[in-house]
Chains A and B, each alone.
Chain A
């Protein structure tokens, strides 16, 4: 599923685009703990993964850059700061925001065929 389809499903606004916007997204992970995002990072899978999170600081972008996560979806109506957006542009990580809660966003993506990144997680 490409990001614009995800955007539509989650009634999200695109905050920052990048050349990665046409990436094929197959997986999602949802967390407000960046250490957990790193701890459960999967090689070769993260590049087709979006992170669903309620955290909006720069470290979220850094974490995705380090783990190789393709894109970030902010939930609960949270909007990132200008410096978070700037960093995401530099790293070419697309950002979008939805008013949905994390649970709802996960449920919608899951019922539309997006999976957790590992059989166990």
Chain B
């Protein structure tokens, strides 16, 4: 935690970026595991890591299942962690509907993987302190979540 304590609140202490390929079910989840390992290495609280890892994994699976490709970025600050996923893909027609637990447009293949049960976005939101999603049909979806660190890492 020493490295985190020395930084100011507005300064990014650690940045990582991962490319995610749509349809790549074999490697799906690897970026999220890397993020988890990195956060572990720098001594982030284990419950915070769990929340970030779950959100990252669900978001990564969403890109693999629905998009052509995506970029997942993580930014660690002294007082928060930002996770952003930006994909190029079909976008989401009705965000309110997509946020409803159980609503899904998944194919049989996705369901066979144990995903596509309509829990992904609600589950990401549940693990985040702030959650922002925007989507443009035919272009892609942007998701940004923030998990606060203050008081939990000291």
Contact = CB atoms under 8 A, between A and B. Distances in A.
Interface residues of B, number: 27
Interface string A35-52: 111110101100000000
B58 A62 contact: no
Nearest to B122: A39
A34 B114 contact: yes
Interface string B30-73: 00110010000000001100100110011001000000000000
Decide if the interface of chain A is mainly helix, strand, loop or mixed. Answer: helix
B114 A57 contact: yes
A39 B116 CA distance: 13
Nearest to A60: B114
The listed residue with most A CB atoms (<10 A of its CB), out of B28, B29, B46, is B29
Given A55-B114, A66-B54, A67-B50, A35 B33 contact: no
Given A62-B28, A66-B29, A36 B119 contact: yes
A36 B112 CA distance: 14
Interface of B is mostly: helix
Nearest to B36: A66
Contacts of B32: 62, 66
A63 B122 contact: no
A59 interface: yes
B113 A57 contact: yes
B153 to A, nearest CB: 15
22 contacts: A33-B119, A35-B58, A35-B120, A35-B123, A38-B119, A39-B122, A43-B46, A44-B47, A57-B112, A57-B113, A57-B114, A58-B29, A59-B25, A59-B29, A59-B115, A62-B28, A62-B32, A63-B57, A66-B53, A66-B54, A67-B50, A67-B54
